[in-house]
Amino acid sequence: MPRFDPEAFGRWSEAIARFMGTAQFLVWMTLVILLWIGWNTLAPANLRFDPYTFTFLTLILSLQASYAAPLILLAQNRQADRDRVSLEQDRQRAAAQKADTEYLAREIAALRIALGEVATRDFLRSELSRLAEELDEAAHRRTQLERKHHQKELRASTRREGFDDEWDTDRS
């Protein structure tokens, strides 16, 4: 048996099957058959090579069909193999995407739970506002205390000055 490359033969059979499935093939086939029948019907009797029942044409068409069918089946089998591989790859990609999606969903759920424990912007604003108010109140109280303290010091210094004035007058 002759040896051949199955891949090259498969590509060749696919090319033939692809060509046989085109309108161009049908047009050429129809033209050849019409020319064949026309020649063997209208040509002089001594130039006809396939008389009226067209036995040779029938043999040629049967031969073409007997080779075309296996070539088409071979091409279909190769396409089915490619589809099977593609389907398996799609299945693997879908499984990986599903796993990624589930992982991301778990991560988002964990982030939502963590965010529930984290202070929000509104909470921080309200706490900062409350702290600012407390600081303002503390500053106001401090100012009042400083004022009271200053007033006490003024009274004390006034008393001392008054006492010093009295003492100065007594000494004189």
> Tokens in use for 123?
């909470």
What crossing angle do the helices spanning 55-117 and 23-42 adopt, rounded to 10°? 170
Q: Please tell me whether residues 13 and 88 are part of one structural domain.
A: yes
> Tokens in use for 82?
């490619």
Is 49 a domain residue? yes
Count the neighbouring beta carbons within 10 Å of the beta carbon of residue 146. 10
Q: What is the pLDDT of residues 10-37, one digit of tens each?
A: 899 999 999 998 999 999 999 999 999 9
CB 19, CB 25: distance < 8 Å: yes
- Average pLDDT of every residue of the chain: 89
> Tokens in use for 137?
């109140």
The domain boundary, picked from 92, 110, 129, lies at 92
Residue 161: domain span: 121-172
The domain boundary, picked from 92, 111, 131, lies at 92
Task: Give percent of the chain above pLDDT 70.
Answer: 94
Count the neighbouring beta carbons within 10 Å of the beta carbon of residue 75. 21
Q: What is the pLDDT of residues 32-64, one digit of tens each?
A: 999 999 999 999 999 999 988 899 999 999 999
Distance between terminal CA atoms of the chain?
A: 151
Is 61 a domain residue? yes
Q: What is the pLDDT of residues 74-84, one digit of tens each?
A: 999 999 999 99
Specify the pLDDT at position 89. Answer: 96
Is 33 a domain residue? yes
Total domain count, the chain: 2
Given a cut of 70, whether residue 171 has pLDDT beyond it is: no
Mean pLDDT of 65-75: 92
pTM above 0.75, yes or no: no
Q: What is the pLDDT of residues 109-163, one digit of tens each?
A: 999 888 777 777 888 889 899 999 999 999 999 999 999 999 988 888 888 776 5
Percent of the chain as helix, strand, coil, to the nearest 5: 90, 0, 10
Given a cut of 90, whether residue 88 has pLDDT beyond it is: yes
CA distance 30 to 22: 13
Is 132 a domain residue? yes
The domain boundary, picked from 92, 111, 134, lies at 92
> Tokens in use for 64?
């073409």
Is 163 a domain residue? yes
Specify the pLDDT at position 170. Answer: 56
Tokens 């009226």 found at: 52
Is 103 a domain residue? no
Is 102 a domain residue? no
Is 16 a domain residue? yes
pLDDT-based confidence at residue 94 (cuts at 50, 70, 90): very high
Q: How far is CA 66 from CA 62, 69, 70, 81, 131, in A?
A: 6, 6, 7, 23, 94
